[in-house]
Amino acid sequence: MADDKFPGWHGTTILAVRRGGEVVVAGDGQVSLGQTVIKGSARKVRRLSPGGRDVICGFAGSTADAFTLLERLEKKLEAMPGQLARACVELAKDWRMDKYLRNLEAMLIVTDGTDLLVITGAGDVLEPEHDIAAIGSGGNFALAAARGMMETDLGAEAIARKAMSIAADICVYTNGNLTVETIKQA
């Protein structure tokens, strides 16, 4: 149960765009505690390579919780090489049912270039519509901006960068210091 006296860790924005044979995952670098920016250059997008196959993960929420989930996901991927969706479903089941994991506060976007998935603590493994996924406090702003740009000739990275810039202009818990990772569709 959250302590109402503690201001809590707030927001981030993670956006994934699939277009032109690649998937781009972008995340801002701001970490806030209440109304104070604690750090502006955090890396919330990571490349995992379990079994030699690249997977890109972006996380929103508590950093320690997200790292716990990333470690668990990496183990699932090692046990099920090349089966991202299955590994994510197994992680979501553990997350929902395990007494300890159930209290973790984070969300993940993961991709191997083929699958693009959002994983939540409610047991959801979602494949987003329109080849765009977004999470975090600025996620809806980035999602709307990216969807609007999908009708242009811009590539995945250009769409992700511009959408993240728009989100950073609107969401006080999002900055323009980006980590961007790209993976080719398999």
Query: Would you name the residues annotated as active-site residues?
Result: 12
> 10 Å Cβ neighbour count for 57?
23
Q: Which sign does the torsion angle of CA 33, 101, 135, 42 carry?
A: positive
Sheet of strand 13-19, all strands in order from the earlier edge strand to the far edge: 132-136, 13-19, 22-27, 179-184
Structure tokens at 129: 């519509």
Nearest to 44 by CA among 158, 139, 122, 166: 139
